[in-house]
Copies of this chain bind each other. A is one copy, B any other.
């Protein structure tokens, strides 16, 4: 497998989309799929799909296509989903609640394992069966539960201090829904998921 430094973020962002479609095929007992068929269903150029998958090795067979089970397994390996990945969520407001309730959809060995909020009124309550813990338990709970990823759904003004607490506790990847820029050490990966940024990217494609 190639080193991840050499693989573009765009490819890494497409792999989960491929995985979801391939898992759907798997559930429907489809065993083989061509890049043409994948491209048509995912609105991605088939040549792009072949190129993306070739980055990681020689998966396909000319004239036959990809073995669905094999490709699912490979992409899961590449995305490091072969072991359970635990996620913390900080900020149990509307957005935090909505995301936690999506927990059921977090497939492929990924689950929200802890929720934190600084509102004393929320402590002891549960979201999607997960208790809301106070912020001062974060530093202990995250290493104890071996949580590596975190979702930030606090207001923009609190996002940086939450980011600092998370990285000090050992978090290596953050999905930031707060509409603000946050900073962390180089070994921490930050992805922005806020709606404004996403919509602005989309606006670019309007003609």
What are 5 sample pairs from A and B whose C-beta atoms fall under 8 A apart?
A41-B183, A43-B184, A102-B196, A149-B206, A191-B202
Q: Which of A61-69, A87-95, A135-143 touches B? A: A87-95
One digit per residue, 1 when the CB lies within 8 angstroms of any chain B CB and 0 when it does not, for chain A 167-195 equals 00000111100011101101101111111
Whether the pair B172, A204 counts as a contact (CB closer than 8 A) is no
Q: How many copies does the complex hold?
A: 2
Whether the pair B102, A192 counts as a contact (CB closer than 8 A) is no
Name the contact of A43 in the complex, choosing from B4, B156, B186 (C-beta under 8 A).
Answer: B186
Residue of B nearest to A102 (CB): B195
Additional pairs, 17, CB under 8 Å, beyond known A79-B200, A95-B99, A151-B195: A4-B205, A13-B201, A16-B200, A42-B181, A94-B94, A94-B98, A98-B98, A99-B195, A102-B194, A102-B196, A105-B179, A110-B203, A148-B206, A149-B199, A174-B202, A175-B199, A193-B193
